[in-house]
Amino acid sequence: MGSYKYSSRAKDKTTFFSEIGNIAVFSGRTLRYTFSFPFEFREFLKQCYAIGNLSLGLVAITGAIMGIVLTIQSRPVLSDFGAEAMLPQMVAVSIVREIGPVITALICAGKVGSGMGAELGSMKVTEQIDAMEVSATLPIKYLVVTRVLAATLMVPILVVFADALGLLGSWVGTNIKGSVNIVLFFSHAFSSLDFIDLVPALIKSFFFGAVIGLIGCYKGYTAGKGTESVGVAANSAVVLSSLLIIIVDLVAVQITDLML
């Protein structure tokens, strides 16, 4: 009989560096299958709807409250410098550049990332991913690519939404002391906003979305055996994607700074 030796399977032990390597390999595979035919369009739409629908309310409330809080807290500082008139501009820049994208991304990491980790994790544990594979479907294409793309698309949309509600909240905040016409407020706010505020913020939001999708799917997809690994997958998806969002933000700020 012929003898055939195969390379042994990936070892179970994970260290910090092997984890980074695995995530890189996983991301590479996801990217490769993103551009291969056929695209699972229905599943993609389903995921877009799920992500948007799931986080919309939460993002809206948080955005509005951040706007109000930021306005109330900035007012005394600005009035110390006699620059109270700058309030709309200042709040608009902080929300659009930083607070909107980061807070929205962190909320989505908690809501969407953990959901993906738990869903794929339980699919893995109950052999649903194996079942998909034997019915000649690539789980990475059907489950992972669709979710990562949906998150990459939906997070920036949610960010724009959060920005808008943040500004509205800021207007409410300014009206707590004194009254400002809403048209006047927004014309002030927008006058300070440049392309240079909007575009980098939107670009980084796409990356935040990709991070959330990739880490959520990676953690779920590589979940161990047994039901407790579902919880572990969901939990570590949130922790790792939140951390990565902050790191991506740091890098994005440096790059934007260099380009200006």
* Binding stretches for other proteins (CB under 8 A): 1-6, 8-9, 12, 119, 122-123, 126-128, 130-138
Residue closer to other proteins by CB (options 133, 249) is: 133
Residue whose CB is less far from other proteins, 128 or 175: 128
- Smallest separation (angstroms) from other proteins to the CB of 247: 32
Q: Which is nearer to other proteins, 129 or 201 (CB)?
A: 129
Give the residue with the Cβ less far from other proteins, 137 or 175: 137
Closer to other proteins at the Cβ: 3 or 179? 3
CA atoms within 13 A on the CB side of 167: 23
- Minimum gap (Å) between residue 119 Cβ and other proteins: 7
CB of 128 to other proteins, least distance (A): 5
Eight-class DSSP state of 112: I
Give whole-number Cα distances, 204 to 15, 98, 141, in Å: 29, 10, 24
Pick the closer one to other proteins by CB: 18 or 191.
18
The amino acid present at 27, given as its one-letter code, is S
Q: Which is nearer to other proteins, 119 or 163 (CB)?
A: 119
- C-beta of residue 54 within 8 angstroms of C-beta of residue 112: yes
Closest approach of Cβ 239 to other proteins, in Å? Answer: 25
Smallest distance from the beta carbon of 130 to other proteins, in angstroms? 5
Q: Are 174 and 185 in contact (CB under 8 A)?
A: yes
**Burial per residue of 183-197, b for 16 or more beta-carbon CB atoms within 10 angstroms, e otherwise:** eebbebbeeebeeeb
Are the C-beta atoms of 152 and 52 separated by less than 8 Å? no
Smallest gap from Cβ 129 to other proteins, in A, equals 9
Maximum C-alpha span of the chain: 90
Min separation Cβ 50 and other proteins, Å: 10
Residues whose CB is less than 8 angstroms from the CB of residue 246 and which lie 6 or more positions away in sequence, other chains included? 102
User: Which residues have a Cβ under 8 Å from the Cβ of 227 and sit 6 or more positions away?
Assistant: 122, 125
Whether 137 and 203 have beta carbons less than 8 Å apart is answered as no
What Å distances lie between residue 115 and 87, 209, 234, CA to CA? 38, 14, 7
